[in-house]
Chain A
C-alpha cells in the first residue's frame, strides 16, 4: 500500500534554512504537496509539484523531487518565527477521483 513518511521534529534557528524531508512509496504518484498547519487551524497549501518536475521555487520555498529515490524535500530560506508549525507532505495518484495520502507531519520549531 501507499505510505508517506516524514521525520517528526525539526528545530532551526531564526535566519537559518530549514529542510523538511519526505519519502513516499507509490511510484504512480502524480502530484506531491506541502501543507502547513498552525495551532488550532486547518491545513494551508504551501506548494505542490508535478512528478515530471525536479524542482519548484516560490519565494522562500524550494521543493526538490528525487523520483528515483521517491524523496521530496521542502527548503525554507531565512526561516522566521512565523514558520513554526507542522508541515505535512502529501501525494496523490492518477485515478478517477484523486486520493490523497498524508505523512504524519513534521513539527518545526524556530528558535530566536
Chain B
C-alpha cells in the first residue's frame, strides 16, 4: 500500500476563502502530481513537480498554485475559492527514473480531497 496522504478528506467552504490542500508522501518519490477529478470520473492533470523547487502547470488550466519546498510535501493552494472549484483533488507521486529512461514508475495516489465551495 502506497504511503501518500491527503488532508482534509472533505472540505466545505464559502466563496472567496483561501484554502490549502495538503499532500505528503513518505516514499522519497521525486515526482508529484495534482489531478482534478470531475463528477464524470475523468482525471485532469493540473500541476506536477520533478523535485524540490520544481513546479509545472499541467494540461488543465487551474487557478490554483503549488509549491515544493520539501521532497515529501506538495501542497495545493486556492487563493479565492469559487463554486467552479468544487471537485475531487487527487495527489499522486512516482519515482524519477532519470531523463530518457524507458521505465516510468507507476503513480501512487492518495485518497483525495473532496472540495465543495458554496
Contact = CB atoms under 8 A, between A and B. Distances in A.
A44 B104 contact: no
16 contacts: A30-B102, A31-B103, A33-B106, A37-B41, A41-B112, A42-B92, A42-B112, A45-B106, A45-B107, A48-B106, A86-B41, A88-B43, A94-B101, A97-B99, A98-B104, A105-B41
Interface string B26-51: 00000101000000111101001010
State the main secondary structure of chain B at its contact with A: loop
A92 B112 CA distance: 22
Given A42-B90, A45-B107, A96 B100 contact: yes
Contacts of A31: 103-104, 106
Q: Which range contains the number of B residues in contact with the other chain? A: 20 to 34
Nearest to B97: A98
Contacts of B50: 97
Interface string A78-100: 00000000101010111011111
Contacts of A44: 109
Nearest to B48: A97
A93 B112 CA distance: 25
Nearest to A29: B104
Given A42-B112, A43-B109, A98-B31, A92 B104 contact: yes
Interface of B: 2, 6, 31, 33, 40-43, 45, 48, 50, 90, 92, 94, 96-97, 99-112, 114
Interface of A: 30-31, 33, 35, 37, 40-45, 48, 86, 88, 90, 92-94, 96-100, 102, 104-105, 107
Contact of A102 (B42, B103, B114): B42
B110 A94 contact: no
A98 B100 contact: no
A31 B45 CA distance: 18
A45 B43 contact: no
Contacts of A41: 111-112
